[in-house]
């Protein structure tokens, strides 16, 4: 390189310098797309770790509302996740023409708001509106992605989740598991509230809601009587006790 006055003259042609600059620019641009996914992946991995093993609430469990009592007792806690599609379903129920559904939907939304303020509990809402699949499929897929557990009252959703390798906690099954265990030969004192399927049967209930069908007790409607358990039947809806008057 030589100096001419105050100017510096390059030994390399200007065209060569321009071509080299273009090549450097192309190389940088080609590398940028590789760098961006790495940052995105890092962000996704961080979110995945943060939400790992969370509880994913289904619409049926929110509307049922019993799970909120379990949470308030401190039996389960940590992070709870609600998908946008679940919230949308819940809002549709809250706007239903059916007064019972509307009441349950609005109560579910209120309980979610209270859950956000519960100590030791974190509530996260995940957007899944871009997914072109049914809500149940979205829920199972997302729960599996985060190694989470689904809380539901829907028997079919529970079975689908299990098939897909996702743990599903059915509130109805949980309630039945916690019911009082009676054995044949045990004596109970119950109120006969209505008749059974058979015209001679009377039906009563334990404090936890377990049904007791008593033989030859249709004439004892409105009365409290002593009975003895004769047999127990387990159904998908829970246990049913059969008893005889003492």
What confidence tens digit (pLDDT) does each residue in 36-86 have? 444 445 554 555 666 888 999 999 999 999 999 999 988 888 899 999 999
CATH of 187-245, picked from 3.30.230, 1.20.120, 2.40.50, 2.60.120, is 2.40.50
pLDDT over 50 (residue 133): yes
| CATH level 2 (architecture), domain 52-177 | 3-Layer(aba) Sandwich (3.40)
Residue that wins the pLDDT comparison between 132 and 38 = 132
Q: For residues 55 and 77, what is the distance between their CA atoms, to the nearest angstrom? A: 9
| Secondary structure of residue 199 in the 3-state scheme | coil
Helix locations, 95-200, DSSP H: 99-116, 135-145, 155-163, 171-177
Task: Supply the Cα-derived Rg of the chain in whole angstroms.
Answer: 32
Q: Minimal CA–CA distance to 63: which of 38, 93, 88?
A: 93
- Calculate mean pLDDT across residues 30-41: 49
Tens of pLDDT along 185-209? 999 999 999 999 988 999 999 888 8
Cα dist from 58 to 89, 110, 121, 171, 227, whole Å: 10, 15, 17, 11, 40
Residue that wins the pLDDT comparison between 163 and 27 = 163
* CB distance 194 to 85 below 8 Å: no
Tens of pLDDT along 202-229? 999 988 888 999 999 999 999 999 999 9
Residue 4: per-residue pLDDT: 47
Tens of pLDDT along 137-167? 999 999 999 999 999 999 999 999 999 999 9
- The beta strand positions in 143-223, using DSSP E, are 149-152, 168-170, 187-191, 194-195, 202-205, 211-215
pTM of the model: 0.65
């Amino acid at each position: 390189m030589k100096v001419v006055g105050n100017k510096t003259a390059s030994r390399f042609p200007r065209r060569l310098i321009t071509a080299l600059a273009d090549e450097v620019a192309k190389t940088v641009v080609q590398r940028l797309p590789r760098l961006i996914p790495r940052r995105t992946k890092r962000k996704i991995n961080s979110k995945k770790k943060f939400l790992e093993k969370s509880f994913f609430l289904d619409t049926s469990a929110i509307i049922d509302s019993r799970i909120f009592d379990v949470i308030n007792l401190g039996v389960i806690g940590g992070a709870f996740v609600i998908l946008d599609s679940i919230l949308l379903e819940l809002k549709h129920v809250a706007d239903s023409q059916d007064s019972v559904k509307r009441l349950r939907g609005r109560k579910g939304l209120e309980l979610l708001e209270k859950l956000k303020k519960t100590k030791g509990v974190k509530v996260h809402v995940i957007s899944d509106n871009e997914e072109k699949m049914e809500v149940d499929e979205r829920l199972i897929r997302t729960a599996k992605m985060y190694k989470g557990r689904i809380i539901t009252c829907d028997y079919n959703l529970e079975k689908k989740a299990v098939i897909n390798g996702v743990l599903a906690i059915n509130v109805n099954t949980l309630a039945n598991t916690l019911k009082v265990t009676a054995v044949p030969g045990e004596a109970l004192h119950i109120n006969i509230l209505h008749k059974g399927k058979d015209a001679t049967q009377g039906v009563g209930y334990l404090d936890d809601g377990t049904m007791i069908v008593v033989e030859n007790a249709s004439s004892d409607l409105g009365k409290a009587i002593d009975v003895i358990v004769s047999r127990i039947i387990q159904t998908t809806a829970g246990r049913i006790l059969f008893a005889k008057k003492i």
